[in-house]
Amino acid sequence: MGLHAVDRPGESPWPRGEARRICFLADASGALEQRLVEGWIARNRPAGSECDVVWLPPSRRRAVQRRSLTSLQTALATGDDVLLVPVRVAWGLRRGRKKRVPSFLDLITLGDPRDPNRLLQEIIVRFRPEQVAVLTGESATVGEVHRRWVADRVHRPDAPTGFAEYVALQGALTLEVAERRMRGNRYKVSRFVAEDLVGSASFQAGLSEVARRTGEDEAEVSIRAAKYLKEIAASPSTFIIDLVAALVRAIYTMGYEHRIRYDRDALDRIAALGQQHSLAFLPGHKSNMDHLALTAVLYENGMPPNHTAGGINMNFFPVGPLLRRHGIFFIRRTFKDNEAYKFVLKRYVDYLLARRFPLEWYLEGGRSRTGKLREPRFGMLSYVADSWRRGSCDDVVLVPISIAYDQIQDVGAHAAEQRGAKKERESFTWMLKVLRSLRRRYGRIHVTFGEPLNLSEVLERYPAGQEPDPEASNLEIAKLAFEVSVRINRATPITPISLVTMALLGTGERAVTAEETHAALRDFITFVEARGLPVTEALELDDPAAVRAALDALVDHKVVTRWDGGTETVYEVGPDQHLAAAYYRNTIVHFFTTGAIAEVALLGCADAEDPAEAFWPEVAELRDFLKFEFFFAEKDEFRAEMSAEVAYHDPDWEQHLGRGDAVAVLRRFRPFTSHRILRPIFEAYLLVADALVARDFRMDVDPKRLSADTLALGGQYRAQRRIKSPEAVSTALFDSAIRLANNRGLLKGGDVERLREREAFAAEMRAIVARIDRIEEMAGERG
């Protein structure tokens, strides 16, 4: 690569190989750029040297009329020894600066500094010549490129079928690489996607196979495929990368602190992996700010923007076009029976992985409404795994990411949806509401990178010539998604707000002082520190003033109500705010779930003839009840985790159980967590069970109707004080309970035996809630 000032006297940057005939593959988007390239050649051409100039189809948006490849075909036919040298004009150079973030004035008046309009080009050449230079890419002879083309046609199914098309594409890509080396890796963008894909023999052959399989006309399938590719593919722009970085910072700093907390060393290690393998960033999805936060962190560290899978619902004006130019590619919600669409999406993923463009998507599919990590969706993960198995790239590194917030602006909407409100559709008006909500302060953002996972270590390539086993493949993808979700949970840090809400939601409906909250937190802090759990910063909640500050932050957002003016200031979760408070608690419940299950299991086996023998069946039953709520390890691993959890509280627990003293083991638990974590779940399950019992047992039950009926029943039970937890009245919890009931066959109509099964299910839920009541009493006795 060479970088040559347009008018640098005394320097001869002519390509090596003067004895050969040189053919410049020139990329110029207008007459001025063409004159600059021709002038550079004329000034630097050695006497007696032979050279030609072939003008490639221009790559920039202000392109002159597209040129045919006839002149290139003629030049390529002159001999294998001809040296091909790509060349273009580079604009907007800022020597001595590491980065340049354009201002909004750039957008309004000047546009893209790397692709200025004609008038600005003239001004730069006349008054700022140091900001423009002629750039040459890596050179090669016709023979060398031809041999590469032949090899690529064998090993790369997407290689162009024509040699001239291949040379033009490689010349443009070489110039992109050369310019990126000059400007930095953050400007690595996918270019010429349509030309590269549609022009390949394998793409056309694949479309022919789709047409044959579906019985459709091949020409019609090709037209639709081109339309789908345009609908799906991102078209990132270096200017938009800078512009979006400025917009992202302006947006998130409206509501959050300027500095995002993250481990720079961890990110450096991930960047190093990205130099060798394809990367896929998989964040948990809590807030509308998630993508913005990760974008800001990557940009700040000079990493390229991710090609991010987005729902087609986000492709609305003016957001959609901007997102597409930043690297978002849009996917339809459903396309199960559209073979042409699936083929295009598959080949687009192949293209991105083969060229190591980093990917990003939310494994959960959408934002968590409860604060807990949602069950993963397998769609994009399946496409990526399938692409790797077919050999698109050497390896894919999955990067689990937790993005945590002190507080989020979405929590009110999440709570409303759990109470039965419909999700607001994304639109320009919706976007304005999100921006207005950021006028309040929400604290800090914390981005934590989990342990990366290499596909090559957990999957195997498809055997050559053999059809994959769909059932085995789906099971592997499910296990892979589970492992990524577990690693996201492990990386999720405990925030002061999440721990304070955990304490508040265990006090019943009684208001408490900051000092009482501080006392309730002591055992939690001891547990967190002893187990080495991740935290956002040192948990200084052993100071009542820090606890009061966290409570006041919740008061500012009306999650907590503060009562002043009496003899002491007291706090309680605000009216209709229990689901909002539970959201923050739920972001960390996975760290305490095993202990909560142990508490209920210990009390359940206390009256058994042999508590040591009865304990593990109790654990297994609770694990099965909660399988749609939490991510549990395989049975043997979970048993080991459970043993370690109980041993933390009582190292001699097995001997005590053997002597029949389960309650003594239980009393050693600090803190008690089952009434804080499991009560709302099992009370929600009890509501669903009672709603099922009230149904005609002879008829099948519609899940949506059952959820609506349970919501009404929850209001009744709360008014009658038949359940204690306000956050139990949640459609999200009802959905899990309905899945469990369906898994047990309880939604199907039947004879009177079906009624007995539903009644037995309700009795089981009622018995577990009674145990949790007893544990809460024990917590109250402890004080």
Strands (E), 525-648: 560-563, 570-573
Mean pLDDT confidence for 335-358: 91
The first and second tokens of residue 363, run together, are: 């494994």
- pLDDT at residue number 62: 42
Task: Identify which has the larger pLDDT, 327 or 57.
Answer: 327
- pLDDT at residue number 729: 96
Rounded CA-CA distance 460/458 in Å is: 7
Task: Identify which has the larger pLDDT, 167 or 470.
Answer: 167
- Helix or strand or coil: residue 25? strand
Between 317-321, 487-491, 522-526, 725-729, the lowest mean confidence (pLDDT) is in: 317-321
- pLDDT at residue number 36: 93
CB count, 10 Å around CB of 263? 11
- Helix or strand or coil: residue 512? strand
- pLDDT at residue number 239: 80
pLDDT tens digit sequence for 240-256: 888 888 889 999 999 99
Q: What's the one-letter identity of residue 688?
A: V
How is residue 256 annotated by DSSP? Answer: B
Mean pLDDT confidence for 2-23: 60
Task: Identify which has the larger pLDDT, 508 or 398.
Answer: 398
156 confidence band (pLDDT: 50, 70, 90): low
391 confidence band (pLDDT: 50, 70, 90): confident
The first and second tokens of residue 286, run together, are: 């809590």
Q: Compute the mean pLDDT over every residue in the chain, rounded to the nearest whole number.
A: 88
489 confidence band (pLDDT: 50, 70, 90): very high
Mean pLDDT confidence for 751-777: 97
Mean pLDDT confidence for 169-176: 84
123 confidence band (pLDDT: 50, 70, 90): confident
- pLDDT at residue number 1: 45
Q: Which residues contact 510 (CB under 8 A, 6 or more apart)?
A: 572
Task: Identify which has the larger pLDDT, 133 or 66.
Answer: 133
Rounded CA-CA distance 361/355 in Å is: 18
Sign of torsion over alpha carbons 349, 352, 355, 358: negative
The residue among 578, 408, 414 whose CA lies nearest residue 501 is: 578
- Helices 752-782, 611-625: inter-axial angle, 10-degree rounding: 110
Q: Which helix (H) or strand (E) holds 454?
A: strand 453-454
The first and second tokens of residue 322, run together, are: 């901007």
Mean pLDDT confidence for 655-674: 94
- pLDDT at residue number 424: 81
- pLDDT at residue number 44: 84
Mean pLDDT confidence for 21-26: 92
Q: Which residues contact 748 (CB under 8 A, 6 or more apart)?
A: 700, 701, 754
Q: Which helix (H) or strand (E) holds 398?
A: strand 396-405
Computed over its alpha carbons, how large is the radius of gyration of the chain?
Answer: 31
Rounded CA-CA distance 186/180 in Å is: 8
Q: Which residues contact 442 (CB under 8 A, 6 or more apart)?
A: 255, 256, 405, 406, 407, 408, 409, 557
Mean pLDDT confidence for 631-647: 95
10 confidence band (pLDDT: 50, 70, 90): very low
- pLDDT at residue number 780: 87
- pLDDT at residue number 253: 93
CB count, 10 Å around CB of 463? 9
Rounded CA-CA distance 113/121 in Å is: 10
Between 471-475, 517-521, 589-593, the lowest mean confidence (pLDDT) is in: 471-475
Q: Which residues contact 722 (CB under 8 A, 6 or more apart)?
A: 716
pLDDT tens digit sequence for 407-424: 998 898 888 889 888 888
61 pLDDT above the threshold of 60: no
Between 230-234, 316-320, 725-729, the lowest mean confidence (pLDDT) is in: 316-320
Task: Identify which has the larger pLDDT, 584 or 196.
Answer: 584
67 confidence band (pLDDT: 50, 70, 90): low
The residue among 58, 170, 51 whose CA lies nearest residue 115 is: 58
- pLDDT at residue number 95: 57
Rounded CA-CA distance 120/38 in Å is: 20
- pLDDT at residue number 672: 95
Q: How many CA atoms lie within 13 A of 173 on its CB side?
A: 13
65 confidence band (pLDDT: 50, 70, 90): very low
Specify the length of the chain in residues. 783
For 50, 126, 292, 302, 476, the CA distances from 112, given in Å and listed in that order, are 36, 18, 22, 19, 45
- pLDDT at residue number 103: 56
Rounded CA-CA distance 230/449 in Å is: 33
Rounded CA-CA distance 707/455 in Å is: 39
Rounded CA-CA distance 18/37 in Å is: 18
- pLDDT at residue number 105: 54
Rounded CA-CA distance 405/293 in Å is: 10
- Helix or strand or coil: residue 719? helix
* Ramachandran assignment for 79, one of left (phi > 0), alpha (psi -120 to 50 degrees), beta (any other): left
Q: Give φ, ψ of 568 to 5 degrees.
A: -150, 155
Q: How many CA atoms lie within 13 A of 200 on its CB side?
A: 24
Between 35-49, 552-566, 576-590, the lowest mean confidence (pLDDT) is in: 35-49
Alpha helix positions (H), 184-315 = 193-198, 201-214, 218-232, 238-255, 264-274, 290-300
- Are residues 353 and 278 in contact, defined by beta-carbon separation less than 8 angstroms? yes
574 confidence band (pLDDT: 50, 70, 90): confident
Mean pLDDT confidence for 301-327: 86
